[in-house]
Every structure is written in C-alpha cells, then in structure tokens.
Amino acid sequence: MNQLLAMRAFCCIVENRGFSAAAEQWETTSSTLSRHLQHLEAQLGVRLINRTTRHLSLTEAGERYHAACLDILQRLDQAALAVADDGSEPSGTLRISVPLVIGTLELGNWLPGFQQRYPKIRVDLSCEDRFVDLVAERFDLALRISGPLEDSSLVAKKLTVSDLILVAAPGYVSRQGLPRQVDELATHQLLGFTGSNEWRLNSARADTVVVALNGRFKTDTITSLHSAALAGLGIAAFTRATVQQNLQSGQLVQILPDYNAGQRHYFALYPHARLLAPKVRVFVEFMAQHYMSV
C-alpha cells in the first residue's frame, strides 16, 4: 500500500474528525480510509486513533505521528508546487470566509486592487461572524480578526496587528467639542456593542484607564456601529484598518490619538497538509502587503 497515500488518508480523517466526512471529501468509502489507517497502525505497531461508535480521538502516539505527517506532506506539496508552477497567471474560483467587517467596511480597501492584479481569479466571498469549518464547507481559506490566536489545527499566517482607535464624525466634534483628556469622555456619547459596558484605554504614557460606555446607542453589528459613528451619533472604537479610508477622506477624525482600546490580530487561515494553490498563495501574499501599508 502507498505509504504517502495512507499518511494523507490519516491526516484527512483527523482533519474531518471522522471517517464519513473524510470519505466524502476524498470521494471514496469509509472502509477504504479504514484500510489505510489499519495499514499505518500495523506498520508502526501502535494505535494512532481511538475509535468508538460516536467519537474519534488521537492517541499520544497518534498526536506525534500526525504532527510529523503534516510537516512531511506540507514539504512534499510545496516541492511539487515549485515544480508545477510554471509562471502562468493564477486563476480559478477562490472561496474565502471573512468576518462581516472585512467583507463590508474593509472590502473597498483591498478587493479592487486584488482583482486588478489577478483578473483571472474569481472571488467567492462569504461574510459571517462565525468560525466556519474550512474543510467541510470547502473554503480555500479564511480571514479572521481576534486577540492572539490559540492553538489551531489550521495554518495561521499573521497579517497585521491593528490598534482599536477612537473616532467620531466631524459634525459630532463640532457640536460636542473635541475631548483632549480621557476624563472628558464622561460627558460624551460613547457608542458600543450590545453587552459591552466599558473601554479599557491604553497609552504608552499612562496606566490603563477604564471608561464606562454611557452612550444612548448600542448595537450587535459592526456595520450599524460604523453607520452611527458616520451619522455623528457619538464616539466609537474601530481598528485602524477598518476606518482607514474614512480617516483619509475626512468622514471620521481620530479622538485622543495617544490612546487605544486594545488591539486586534488579523490572520489568514488554511488547512495543514494541503497543496497551497497559486490562487491561495497570491491572495495571502497580497493581503499581507495590504495590511503592512495600513
């Protein structure tokens, strides 16, 4: 039996958390994948996966072998890609999962430039604030915004770290005045998300300051929060990457520029042990360059 094929089958079973989903992805049968696994376990002389009727889990040996397989297969795939990549222009449909903020408020910052540079790539964008299963839902990759990313079964390439900055519309500042000290925020309309009651403002020059969100408007979507800020309803916090164009156009102005309300990490995520297709590779490279300029 082909050793590399059996290793790929093993990784696919782990990635899909079961034989049925893995078989569907491979367009084969569960029994075929089971034979690949049995071949590996017999050859190694150890059990790699604990199997019950409802649950699969890696054994300690399985965890070590899985990590080694991922490294080996990724190197082989990259070597094959280096040979196969003849310099032709990347093409095909690129399925991307992004959070709402990237797919709406930040879309105009990056999509026109990407499509102009790679006209043969068709972008199929899904905008949802949930963690999709890239393998089961057949996405090529996902972009995510979070705090520091915890351990994941996915490759996570950090694109940037962006400060959460305070902004307001010029009209609001004209009516209510420009706060120059943190304590002056208490007299202003501070807009936030439903369930959020405070900002923790950080500065290199001072200790962290906790500010209560006392505004008359809260929402559960970032697009509504952005619309409220543009309409002059108060001061809101967004990543600099999100409001870059608004600041450049003068639609929003930064408030208390020495302070931030935290940071958000931007990541590109894609599965291990998979050939990184040219369309995926150029997109990740393009987004890394884009966020470096923000």
- Give the DSSP per-residue string, 130-162: S---TTTTT-SEEEEEESS----SEEEEEEEEE
pTM summary value? 0.70
Q: What pLDDT was estimated at residue 134?
A: 83
Q: What pLDDT was estimated at residue 147?
A: 66
The rounded distance, in Å, linking the Cα atoms of 189 and 168 is 10
226: left (phi > 0), else alpha (psi -120 to 50), else beta?
alpha
Q: What pLDDT was estimated at residue 289?
A: 92
What type of residue sits at position 119? P
For residues 164 and 239, the answer to whether their CB atoms sit within 8 Å is yes
Q: What pLDDT was estimated at residue 189?
A: 97
Q: What pLDDT was estimated at residue 199?
A: 96
Q: What pLDDT was estimated at residue 82?
A: 65
Q: What pLDDT was estimated at residue 53?
A: 64
Write down how long the chain is.
294
Domains annotated on the chain, with CATH? 3-84 (1.10.10.10), 92-155+265-292 (3.40.190.10), 163-264 (3.40.190.290)
Q: What pLDDT was estimated at residue 262?
A: 93
Instruction: Burial-class residue 249 by CB neighbours within 10 Å (0-12, 13-18, 19+).
Output: exposed
Low-confidence stretches of the chain (pLDDT beneath 50): 151, 273
Q: What pLDDT was estimated at residue 2?
A: 81
Helix axes 19-26, 3-16, angle to 10 degrees: 120
Q: What pLDDT was estimated at residue 51?
A: 81
Q: What pLDDT was estimated at residue 275?
A: 60
For residues 290 and 110, the answer to whether their CB atoms sit within 8 Å is yes
Q: What is the DSSP string of 62-92?
A: HHHHHHHHHHHHHHHHHHHHHHH--SPPP-E
Q: What are the backbone dihedrals phi and psi of residue 70, each rounded to the nearest 5 degrees, phi first?
A: -60, -45
Nearest Cα to 273, choosing from 73, 76, 123? 73
Which letter, b or e, does each residue of 188-225 get, where b requires 16 or more Cβ atoms within 10 Å of its Cβ? bbbbbbeeeeebebbeeeeeeeebebebebbbeebeeb
